[in-house]
Amino acid sequence: MNTKPIVGIVSPCYNEALVLPETSAQINAVLADLAARNLISEKSFAVFIDDGSKDQTWSIIEQQARQLAHIKGLKLAGNVGHQKALLAGLITFKDEADALISIDADLQDDVRVIEDMIVKFKSGTDVVYGVRKERVTDTFFKRNTALLFYRLMKIMKVNIIYNHADYRLCSQRVLNALSEFGEVNLFLRGIIPSIGFRSDVVYYDRLERFAGESKYPFRKMAAFAWNGVTSFSNYPLKLVTIVGFVIFFFCLLMTGYALFALYTGNVVPGWLSTVLPMYFLGGVQLFCFGIIGEYIGKIYSEVKQRPRYFIDKRVD
């Protein structure tokens, strides 16, 4: 294994002028320290992706890049959102580093675990997930919506790492694999675990936002969670099939009861012929919808043309 890998830190920024000088100073210091201790190459760098910010973010990035040895910048044409901005950084810089670490620009992800990630990478791990220990610094609202998010993912059978956001290290071959995913609705937390390769986690305490405010209001969080479900699982469609089947089954039971009632003469005239077909047709219709849905689900996943597998190694 490469003993002094080139490591790149990728950080998407949207209106982060208030935190950026501090963030780049801290990350620059970490990189300088790791390089001085011969843990990483001198060529290691950090790149800030300006996701179409409306404030001074870009001019600060430019200024930081001029002043600090390890800092670079990338400006996107417009605001594309956190996931796509991050992807832009990962794809653009994947060939310039042995591994890239993605991190939020607001210093909520503890920069001290960068070293742990690199140590794990050097021992042959391809993906290192940063996992939050406690959510003590988050508000009650954020903590509980986050909990709901992970519950939902579990119920809908989407495979993600619990309490891991987008603070992670990916080796170059993981990034090469990532670049083969052509989908528009990106959900990196679902895609990276689906790629495979050896992975590990490092734990850290989620810190308070250094300055500025969260760019993820509830509306965006809900859209993000729904995208996570619909781009990784057809389970909601399956639920429709199941519900349809349950109603159908319930209707069969009711038919049994109705026949019994008819036999004992204990029935309101007209009740049977009104209620039974309603449940029966309702059940059958939902069931059919579900089946059609399953096919649409299949078409959907085919249309996306995701690569089916990646080759890890070979022997000749």
Provide the binding-site residues for ligand UDP, judged by CB under 6 A: 12-14, 16, 51, 79, 81-82, 85, 104-106, 108, 214-216
Let me know: does 107 contact 19? Beta carbons within 8 Å. yes
Q: Which is nearer to ligand UDP, 148 or 252 (CB)?
A: 148
Cα 228 from chain centre: 7
Between CA 229 and CA 223 the distance in angstroms is 10
CB of 109: closest distance to Mg ion in angstroms? 8
12 interface partner picked from ligand UDP, Mg ion, none, CB below 5 to 8 A per type: ligand UDP
Spell out the residues 6+ positions from residue 225 whose beta carbon is closer than 8 angstroms to its own: 149, 152, 153
Using CB under 5 A as the binding rule, whether residue 15 contacts Mg ion is answered as no
CB of 23: closest distance to Mg ion in angstroms? 11
Using CB under 5 A as the binding rule, whether residue 230 contacts Mg ion is answered as no
For residue 195, give both structure tokens.
Answer: 């790629």
Using CB under 5 A as the binding rule, whether residue 106 contacts Mg ion is answered as yes
CB of 14: closest distance to ligand UDP in angstroms? 3
Q: Which is nearer to ligand UDP, 117 or 165 (CB)?
A: 165
CB of 135: closest distance to ligand UDP in angstroms? 11
Q: Which is nearer to ligand UDP, 89 or 293 (CB)?
A: 89
Between CA 313 and CA 207 the distance in angstroms is 39
Stretch in the footprint of Mg ion (CB under 5 A) among 26-34, 108-116, 158-166, 240-248: 108-116
3-state secondary structure of 241: helix
- 260 residue type, one letter: F
CB of 205: closest distance to ligand UDP in angstroms? 14
Let me know: does 163 contact 132? Beta carbons within 8 Å. yes
**Exactly one of 23, 53, 64, 108 binds Mg ion (CB under 5 A); which one?**
108
Q: Which is nearer to Mg ion, 120 or 206 (CB)?
A: 206
Instruction: Please tell me the total number of residues recorded for the chain in this structure.
Output: 316
Task: Return phi, psi of residue 152, to 5°.
Answer: -55, -45
CB of 169: closest distance to Mg ion in angstroms? 19
Element of type H or E holding 100 = strand 99-102
82 interface partner picked from Mg ion, ligand UDP, none, CB below 5 to 8 A per type: ligand UDP
110 interface partner picked from Mg ion, ligand UDP, none, CB below 5 to 8 A per type: none
Using CB under 5 A as the binding rule, whether residue 109 contacts Mg ion is answered as no
Cα 34 from chain centre: 29
Using CB under 5 A as the binding rule, whether residue 233 contacts Mg ion is answered as no
Let me know: does 13 contact 80? Beta carbons within 8 Å. no
Using CB under 5 A as the binding rule, whether residue 166 contacts Mg ion is answered as no
CB of 111: closest distance to Mg ion in angstroms? 14
CB atoms within 10 A of CB 32: 15
109 interface partner picked from ligand UDP, Mg ion, none, CB below 5 to 8 A per type: none
Q: What is the DSSP letter of 103?
A: -
Q: Which residue in 168, 193, 192, 194 sits closest to 116, CA to CA?
A: 168
Using CB under 5 A as the binding rule, whether residue 16 contacts Mg ion is answered as no
